[in-house]
Amino acid sequence: MEMANSGKSRRGVLAGGRRRWENLGIDLLALIFSRIGIADRIAGVPYVCKSWWRASRDPFCWRSLDFREWDDISRRLGCERDCHIDCDDLLVHAITRSKEFIDSVHLPYFADIFDLEHLSNKCPELLYFSIENPDLSVDEFCKHIGKFKFLNGMAVDQSLICHQVLQLVNQCCEYFSELEVFSDEMDKQMASIICECLPKLRKLLITNCRVSRDAILTLLGGLKEIEYLDISGYELSGITSEVIEKASHLKVFRWDSMYDLGEFEYCSHCEEDYFFQSPCECVMVQQVMEWLVNHP
């Protein structure tokens, strides 16, 4: 009997013992689909087969939402109305699918205070949100941020990096530990506000921003529990041996500077002239050696 059936595949199993995609468990499919784009979850996955359709309706499939690539999402879904209206409808659809239990949401560039209000009312257990709009009212923002009692992190514009907002976050969000700031420039004053209001911050991202040396040192000295610091992409070179030494305790420290990118023409270390986009070897060697000494 075994020999007679050895050349045949069981239902739902390919030759060689591999399972068919459509016969994977709903939980596993939902986990996979939660990692693909919103447009595919709405207009792609449900139309492949019945098992994928069932998985696409699993609440777990909708616990992470990313609307940042709105132009592509709206094109693929055929959105033709005002972007605010279309996005609001999609957000409502996703929240309904998740049964109002969402872990994280990255809102599009045009998202406003009404989107945040909707999230605070429908998803008070939200863990993370990102909203880039620089025109949000501080007072209106504060009305809603306090409702997210389990908030772990947020990404906001520099206009919201003030005592009023961050102190409220520190008071109302017991588990808050991650902050990303959308900014063109960060000085010592802004860095000090972050340190004063969020002393237990563990992860901080300030990318593609002009960060002064004093601001970097303030962050490294004031945030005693910081483990992850990303200041990559900034335009001014504030990375010195002092900065490297103070950052040596971090688990992750991401940075680059004018020296790394080659964005300078004169090296004060060896007094040699260099062309644009040709980094000075003496500086690179010095930085690498200093970093290795502090990370045996």
Q: pLDDT tens for residues 48-66?
A: 888 888 888 888 888 899 9
Tokens linked to 292: 């290795």
Work out the burial of residue 269: count CB atoms within 10 Å of its CB; fewer than 13 is exposed, 13-18 middle, 19 or more buried. exposed
How many whole angstroms separate alpha carbon 243 and alpha carbon 109?
A: 33
Largest CA distance in the chain: 84
Buried/exposed 154-181: b ≥16 CB within 10 Å, e otherwise: bbbebbbbeeebbebbbeebeebbbbbb
Tokens linked to 23: 């016969």
Instruction: State the pairing for strand pair 266-267/272-273.
Output: antiparallel
Q: Which residues contact 178 (CB under 8 A, 6 or more apart)?
A: 128, 152, 153, 154, 201, 202, 203, 204
DSSP 141-180: HHHHHTT-TT--EEEEEGGG-SHHHHHHHHHH-TT--EEE
How many whole angstroms separate alpha carbon 238 and alpha carbon 220?
A: 13
Q: Dihedral of CA 234/238/244/249: which sign? A: negative
pTM of this structure: 0.76
Buried/exposed 202-214: b ≥16 CB within 10 Å, e otherwise: bbbbbbebbbbee
pLDDT the model gives residue 283: 52
Helix (H) or strand (E) holding 8: none
Q: pLDDT tens, position by position, for the chain (296 residues)?
A: 344 444 444 444 444 455 566 667 778 888 888 888 888 888 888 888 888 888 888 888 888 999 999 999 999 888 888 999 999 999 999 999 888 888 999 999 999 999 999 999 999 999 999 999 999 999 999 999 999 999 999 999 999 999 999 999 999 999 999 999 999 888 999 999 999 999 999 999 998 888 888 899 999 999 999 999 998 876 555 677 788 888 888 998 888 654 444 443 334 444 444 333 334 555 555 655 565 556 55
pLDDT the model gives residue 232: 84
pLDDT the model gives residue 56: 83
pLDDT the model gives residue 286: 60
